[in-house]
Amino acid sequence: MRRTAGILLPITSLPSRYGIGCFSKSAYDFIDWLKAAGQTYWQILPLGPTSYGDSPYQSFSTFAGNPYFISLDALIAEGVLTRGECEAVDFGDKADDIQYSKIYNNRYPLLRKAYERSNISADPDYKAFAAQNEWWLSDYALFMAVKNQFDESSWDHWPHDIRLRKGPALKEYREKLHSEVEFHQYMQFKFFEQWNSLKTYANRNGIRFIGDIPIYVAMDSADTWAHPELFQLDENNVPLAVAGCPPDGFSADGQLWGNPLYRWDYHQDTDFEWWILRLRYCFRMYDVLRIDHFRGFDEYYSIPYKDTSAVNGHWEKGPGIKLFQHMEKVLGRQEVIAEDLGYVTDSVRQLVRDSGFPGMKVLEFAFDSRDSGSANDYLPHNYIENCIAYTGTHDNETVTGWFDSITEAERQFAREYLCDHYTPVESLYKSFISLVMRSNAKTCIIPMQDYMGLGNQCRTNKPSTVGINWRWRLKKEDLSEELHKEIRSVTRRYGRMNQSI
């Protein structure tokens, strides 16, 4: 099996003159940079439109793209915006930080200007896009238009008729909000036009995208509003129970995510029709698909609705291997990464084995004295070939910040495992990267912050917190020749160079 490597970097973290990473020249430049460094994969986070908290794992749609990613430079080149208009907007004053409130308040007026100047309704490519994607686009665009009409409130607070999609309400709102609906469809057209161009460029240069989908959809989403039959909701579309994780050594109250749970009996009775639609769509968008919280297909944690913590939840059985057997029957064998982290039971391990998908190994978990029972699974000498190895993920501390935060006993264990008691702490991240890269794992993915030796002030996400996450961004000068040489060197040293370029 060919050994490969890649880098984890959210699109939002790319350098940009307009406050947030997007599908601009910097994305193309980063692909060139990955290629020259011998990488095979660019792993990104979910691309859906984000809501309060800015988490890509809580999106208004599982099918739509985030308008934040639309390149304003491309719209300038089209002639629907001017350079002066874009440069006059305040997107924030920090090159390494995303100020989401400014992005939210100031980017959409620019996109609306572009839409109003576009004469999009006469564009044959737009018409074809709208027709091909009508099965999700129509509901999504109406959902966003109605949300705007009611001051961005969640759909479960809308008037009764449109909340429950009763009688003539859908037709009336479509007519009343025609321009707003078309605006949201226009943004989706531009998003996918630009994404497809970027992905084509990446693939032509030997770089493959690892996409990411959450197992669950958000309660406040077009998916839940338009298809309540898929979820555990009552006759008024109020959740009966919601998703989360039980209490553990990391959180005494567990995690209360609040996502609606699936009616797996309905999905099985319909031959997993919605899941097949979702997965087929994702396999077209990405080269490899990482499915978040894979253990939820074996068993999922059900928390009574309106509980304020996860303490009273309980486990229920999921669809198990049936979903993936049906997926392979309908869609053929696809490349999937099973995110099998967290509380892993024997039945979860069996599901991953039965699926044949590679699971994930995270080095930071290997030395955790709070979880000594499973820590050995994450020690690199135990990695099987069919796995994807990481120093850390988007939810973890940076490897530098992690080493600083663990106990003295854990630091000692890590040093002993490395056979390294002398490397200065500020350079130790390189030893941890090498440890992962020389493992037996078929693929290693290293977060960009770890390659740069950055501390926790640059971590991507700290679970169960709001307002401080998803904000870190590269500066253009960070992608230095020195860093490039280091990444290429460690990739070559452990036989992980991209052989297709």
Catalytic site positions: 292, 339, 395
DSSP for 56-112 reads TTSBS-SS---GGGS-HHHHHHHTSS-HHHHHTS---S-TTB--HHHHHHHHHHHHH
Nearest residue to 413 (alpha-carbon basis) of 368, 454, 358, 462 = 368
Whole-angstrom distance, CA of residue 157 vs CA of residue 220? 10
Q: By C-alpha distance, which of 237, 238, 255 is closest to 246?
A: 255
3-state DSSP assignment of residue 208: strand
Reported as type and span, the H/E element at residue 210 is: strand 208-213
Instruction: Tell me if 256 sits within 8 A of 303, measured CB to CB.
Output: yes
Cα 321–327–328 angle (5° rounding)? 95
Please give the C-alpha separations between residue 425 and each of 256, 413, 436, in angstroms, as whole numbers: 36, 14, 18
Distance in angstroms (rounded) separating the CA atoms of residues 55 and 60: 11
Task: Provide the pairing of β-strand 314-317 with 299-304.
Answer: antiparallel
List, in order, residues 6 or more apart from 212 with CB less than 8 Å away: 43, 44, 45, 46, 56, 289, 290, 292
8 A C-beta contact, residue 50 and residue 461? no
Rounded CA-CA distance 462/253 in Å is: 16
